[in-house]
Amino acid sequence: MAASDRRTATLALAHALSAAERGLAVIPLSPTKLPALPSPHRGAPAPVHCRGECGLPGHGVHDATTDPAAVRALFALAPWATGYGIACGRPPHHLIGVDLDTEPAVLRRLALERGFTVPATVTVLTPSGGRHLWLTGPPGVVVPNSAGRLAPGIDIRGAGGYLVGPGSVTARGAYRLVPGTATLAPAPCPPALLRLLAPPPPAPRRAAPAGTPRGEGLVRFVLAAHEGRRNTRLFWAACRAYENGIGDDLADALTDAAVHTGLTPQEARATIASAARLTAPRGAGGRRAR
């Protein structure tokens, strides 16, 4: 490894440890912005839905930890790492990342239309000229990842997602804090914005008539989604299905319902897979990220 590469890797670890000290769970990233450690299940004959229960590293954001010793161990396994990712949705911050690939004016215009103010908060400048705004959410509210749903050019990093941390170096350049925001704490997400990001509240429970297939209400819930809420409703319904042990049985019906509302099959399946990963129980003997 060249001296410049070693210095970049050393700085990435230092930044990651600093973030972990502030309660932000981190993982090492490669220059492509992807998790640096390969999956221990690569080459398996069938998809393996493991979030670290096997006890081995290489599970992406599920490896994220605030334990300094664990952070050092992860980076030691990935000496090629040039950056670090910060897991969103984790306590104590319940971080929500607003990824602006467009002019900040788009978010300000949305704020004006929806009645909220964009707060002063930690802001990271990306190599492409975009910005990452860090917000915090309340405990118990799961904000899903989304791309362009809030507005064109605005992506959201929520539960199961991660943000590239400031100080990271990628193939396209470095991520750095916007001057004046380094001393700020992540600001609470404005309630009006949170309502746009979070899944809708559960519909009132009604006793199903005799003979009604399990999960039919969740399918109807997805079918009733309007544009702008389709992915959110699908994610919420899929989470409830997996929590009740019928996720795999209902996946095809939920996919068909989502496609009927306008999502593509690929988008629908990706959202359902995200819900499956989020709600999967952790193994009693598995390694839990701290």
pLDDT in tens, 131-185: 999 999 999 888 999 988 888 899 999 999 999 999 999 999 999 999 999 899 9
Per-residue pLDDT, 262: 87
Instruction: Give pLDDT, residue 283.
Output: 42
User: Looking at the whole model, is its pTM more than 0.75?
Assistant: no
Q: Region 275-283: what's the mean pLDDT?
A: 69
- In the prediction, which pLDDT does 211 show? 44
* Digit-coded pLDDT (tens) for 43-98: 887 777 788 888 899 999 999 999 999 999 999 999 999 999 999 999 999 999 99
Q: What is the pLDDT of residue 103?
A: 78
What is the rounded average pLDDT of the residues 2-13?
Answer: 84
**CA dist., res. 242 & res. 135, Å (int):** 28
Q: Please check the confidence at residue 223 and state whether its pLDDT lies above 60.
A: yes
Predicted pLDDT at 202: 57
Mean pLDDT of 239-266: 89
pLDDT over 60 (residue 288) = no
Residue for token pair 């221990």 = 40
* Displacement of CA 231 from its chain's centroid (Å): 14
pLDDT of amino acid 44: 80
Lateral strand order in the sheet of 162-164: 26-29, 83-87, 162-164
Distance CA 101, CA 34 (A): 18
pLDDT number for residue 282: 47
Residue type, 71: V
